[in-house]
Amino acid sequence: MASQGNGSSDESIFKTPTIKFTKLFINGEFVDSVSGKTFETIDPRNGEVIARIAEGDKGDIDVAVKAARHAFDHGPWPRLPGVARARIMHKFADLIEENVEELAALDTVDAGKLFSAGKALDIPHVASLLRYYAGAADKIHGEVLKMSRELQGYTLLEPIGVVGHIVPWNFPSTIFFMKVAPALAAGCTMIVKPAEQTPLSALYYAHLSKLAGIPDGVINVVTGFGPTAGAALSCHMDVDKVSFTGSTEVGHKVMKAAAESNLKQVSLELGGKSPLLIFDDADVDKAAELALLGVLYNKGEICVASSRVFVQEGIYDELVKKLIEKAKNCVIGDPFDSKTQLGPQVDKQQFEKILSYIEHGKGEGATLLTGGKPSRNKGYFLQPTIFSDVKEDMLIAKDEIFGPVMSLMKFKTIDEAIKCANNTRYGLAAGIVTKNLDVANTVSRSIRAGIIWINCYFAFDNDCPYGGYKMSGFGRDFGIEALHKFLQVKSVVTPIYNSPWL
């Protein structure tokens, strides 16, 4: 296995894909931005420009919302039987599966994601998300109400209307469909604003949606920047809901814009500083693997990263040795190389932000056990970084770093572990490693977070709701709960006369 810092390049084996779509997708057509402006999307492997992308702003959002509103108010999509929407969504999934390699490659060159993981996991998963919600599209039912007097009542579940989806850069494909798939099943129309760092796959999905037969205006993709296109979407008076995934800081702005405009509904999946609690009875090798998976997967660019690792004192020293050994053996390199385990951070800004947090950690007195430096002269590659002697009031223990940086802390008792785990403004996820069922039950019920993983990590499933407590936001992705985010309840009541039954 190669040592960190020298993963080999596979560019001679895999040819970087031709960029086919660089314009906005509005009302079923690829169009230039109103202003004619473009922006660069950068390859994080080398800092070079991949392509110039149309830069949408308020004017383009207005055009896209108008198209989505017309498609909702007058178009066929919300009025199709659920089974007909499902048929088109299955066709969309088929097309994604037929283009899996090209889509995975786009996310690799745009976001630095591992090509092997994209091809085997991310892109097949988005097809499965479409199929999951296609299966729900014809099962959207209200209920008959047992009224307390001579009235007949029932509820209808109706699509909420025009939805704005604001998608982050760390999982450009997965989160695109975490939002789009349930909204399609519900019968909504939508505008997607992908992150400016990773617009390529979103535009390709727009192209495939047209081929699948999704009517014009149902899916619109406006590439651009958060303060312009994203802000315009959040405050638009004709958007009925905004679904946002990203930082807590921007989540505040989205919610404020929604409140100050038309009181549109909002769902937010925001930041995290997730704890992993490792108890004395844990298998040390397994615990070390889970801890590193939790902080290195996707280069640490994941909201649920287990960046705070609390270890019971009985196995602390042994676990630390394992972590250092495994971290030093991590293969860093070109994400197209099948041997690579850690690709580049998404862009220069994120790369420098992570390095600044590492300097904060050293300056505040934490002990740097391994890593902490760039691993290549070119591109945005970082070594896996582990700190010990971390105090809970240090920035590296409080702030979401969004990179391959682990903070190690020691605890004695279960009560102390629970208190430490909850000592954060976030509440997205948590992990527990123990063989004791009583400990697992007690701790999982005591941590204030939206999902708890016991003896596993990143155990996501289409059927399992996922979302946050506290400043990690509200609303749930995955599961039927996500479908209900894009539906609203209408009650219908009529009087009944001379009925033998209420």
The answer to whether 483 and 163 have CB atoms below 8 angstroms apart is: no
The dihedral sign for the CA sequence 121, 126, 127, 128: positive
Residue 495 located in a structural domain: no
The crossing angle, in degrees rounded to 10, of helices 284-296 and 316-328 is 50
pLDDT of residue 499: 86
pLDDT of residue 217: 98
Number of domains in the chain: 2
Per residue in 242-264, pLDDT (tens digit) is 999 999 999 999 999 999 999 99
| Residue 259 shares a structural domain with residue 328 | no
**Residue 108, domain CATH:** 3.40.605.10
Which residues of the chain are modeled with pLDDT < 70? 1-15
| Residue 225 shares a structural domain with residue 342 | no
Nearest to 250 by CA among 298, 176, 303: 303
- Alpha helices in 364-412, H assignment, sequence order: 395-398
Residue 306 located in a structural domain: yes
Q: For the sheet containing 487-495, what is the strand order?
A: 144-145, 151-159, 487-495
pLDDT of residue 77: 98
Residue 9 located in a structural domain: no
Angle (CA) 271-353-39 rounded to 5° is 90
The dihedral sign for the CA sequence 20, 24, 30, 31: negative
The dihedral sign for the CA sequence 423, 427, 428, 431: positive
User: How would you class 454 by CB atoms within 10 Å of its CB: exposed for 0-12, middle for 13-18, buried for 19 or more?
Assistant: middle
The answer to whether 347 and 42 have CB atoms below 8 angstroms apart is: yes
pLDDT of residue 15: 67
Residue 424 located in a structural domain: yes
pLDDT of residue 40: 98
The answer to whether 355 and 374 have CB atoms below 8 angstroms apart is: yes
CB under 8 Å to 221, separation ≥6 — which residues?
A: 24, 25, 26, 191, 192, 193, 194, 202, 203, 205, 206
| Residue 293 shares a structural domain with residue 381 | yes
- Rounded CA-CA distance 413/217 in Å is 57
Residue 1 located in a structural domain: no
The answer to whether 430 and 453 have CB atoms below 8 angstroms apart is: yes
Angle (CA) 488-450-198 rounded to 5° is 80
Residue 500 located in a structural domain: no
Question: Six-digit token pair at 195?
Answer: 């992150």
Which residue segment(s) compose the domain that 455 sits in? 275-461
**Residue 320, domain CATH:** 3.40.309.10
| Residue 325 shares a structural domain with residue 350 | yes
Residue 388 located in a structural domain: yes
Which is it for strands 429-433 and 451-454: parallel, antiparallel or unpaired?
parallel
The answer to whether 439 and 279 have CB atoms below 8 angstroms apart is: yes
| Residue 455 shares a structural domain with residue 485 | no
In a 3-state reduction of DSSP, which class is residue 358?
A: helix
| Residue 125 shares a structural domain with residue 266 | yes
| Residue 153 shares a structural domain with residue 258 | yes
Residue 178 located in a structural domain: yes
CB under 8 Å to 21, separation ≥6 — which residues?
A: 30, 200, 203, 204, 206, 207
| Residue 312 shares a structural domain with residue 416 | yes
CB under 8 Å to 462, separation ≥6 — which residues?
A: 128, 129, 132, 478, 479
User: How many of the other CB atoms lie within 10 Å of CB of 252?
Assistant: 13
- Rounded CA-CA distance 203/220 in Å is 9
| Residue 227 shares a structural domain with residue 100 | yes
Q: For residue 15, give the amino acid letter.
A: K
pLDDT of residue 7: 39
408-447 b/e (C-beta count within 10 Å ≥ 16 → b): bbbbeebeebbebbbebebbbbbbbbbeeeebbeebeebb
| Residue 316 shares a structural domain with residue 360 | yes
The whole-model pTM stands at: 0.95
Catalytic annotation, residues: 269
| Residue 346 shares a structural domain with residue 409 | yes
Q: For residue 108, give the amino acid letter.
A: T
For the chain, the 3-state helix, strand and coil shares in percent, each to the nearest 5, are 40, 20, 40
Q: What are the φ/ψ torsions at residue 472 (nearest 5 degrees)?
A: -90, 5
pLDDT of residue 502: 77
Nearest to 34 by CA among 46, 42, 26: 26
| Residue 43 shares a structural domain with residue 192 | yes
The crossing angle, in degrees rounded to 10, of helices 123-136 and 100-111 is 120
51-74 b/e (C-beta count within 10 Å ≥ 16 → b): bebbbbbbebbebbbbbbbebbee
The answer to whether 68 and 233 have CB atoms below 8 angstroms apart is: no
Q: For residue 436, give the amino acid letter.
A: N
The answer to whether 37 and 126 have CB atoms below 8 angstroms apart is: no
